[in-house]
């Protein structure tokens, strides 16, 4: 069994419902959810002229390989109605693999740990809620240390 940390996000439609659907399908298709953060409303990143996102970090135990997990998550996004039309554009659902055990993988279609994680407060804050001491294998520090040194000033607010 591998432990993977994921980030789910949505900024179109009923954002909370989209994250609930994502969690349900992840549990059914990808692996057992062992930890989940609260939901965070976050400023858009990369393309700022769009609605705010709702993000949540999940930890799963999975028997899927990294590529099988990626393909499963892409199927879940598609099941939820995601259409990929523009980079960093608005979306019904987005699911990223942040970490997969202590694996370091750099391939054309999959990079683990997620290469932008150290620069994205909207991913680090929910991840730090569920895994503050989790070691980042390429940055050689904990998630809480990464969050402390993150220079991203985008708004990230926990919602009830």
Catalytic residues: 82, 91, 94, 96
Q: Which DSSP state fits 52?
A: P
Tens-digit pLDDT string for the chain (160 aa): 999 999 999 999 999 999 999 999 999 999 999 999 999 999 998 888 899 999 999 999 999 999 999 999 999 998 887 666 667 678 889 999 999 999 999 999 999 999 999 999 999 999 999 999 999 999 999 999 999 999 999 999 999 7
User: What is the rounded CA–CA span in Å between residue 85 and residue 89?
Assistant: 7
Query: Token digits for 144?
Result: 């809480």
Give the number of domains in the chain. 1
User: What is the rounded CA–CA span in Å between residue 50 and residue 42?
Assistant: 11
Task: Please give the model's pTM, rounded to 2 decimal places.
Answer: 0.95
Domain that holds residue 131: 2-159
Q: CA 133 → CA 60, 101, 123, 145, distances in Å?
A: 16, 13, 15, 9
CATH number where 50 lies: 3.30.70.560
């Amino acid at each position: 069994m591998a432990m993977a940390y994921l980030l789910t996000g949505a900024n179109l439609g009923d954002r909370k419902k989209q994250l609930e659907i994502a969690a349900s399908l992840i549990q059914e298709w990808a692996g057992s959810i062992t930890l989940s953060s609260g939901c965070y409303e976050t400023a858009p990143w990369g393309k700022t002229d769009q609605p705010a996102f709702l993000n949540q970090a999940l930890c799963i135990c999975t028997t899927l390989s990294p590529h099988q997990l990626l393909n499963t998550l892409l199927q879940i996004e598609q099941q939820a109605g995601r259409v990929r039309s523009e980079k960093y554009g608005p979306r019904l659902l987005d699911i990223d693999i942040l970490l997969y055990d202590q694996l370091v993988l750099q391939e054309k279609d999959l990079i683990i740990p997620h290469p932008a994680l150290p620069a994205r407060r909207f991913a680090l804050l929910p991840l730090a809620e569920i895994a503050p001491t989790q070691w980042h294998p390429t940055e050689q520090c904990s998630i809480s240390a990464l969050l402390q040194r993150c220079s991203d000033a985008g708004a990230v607010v926990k919602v009830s």
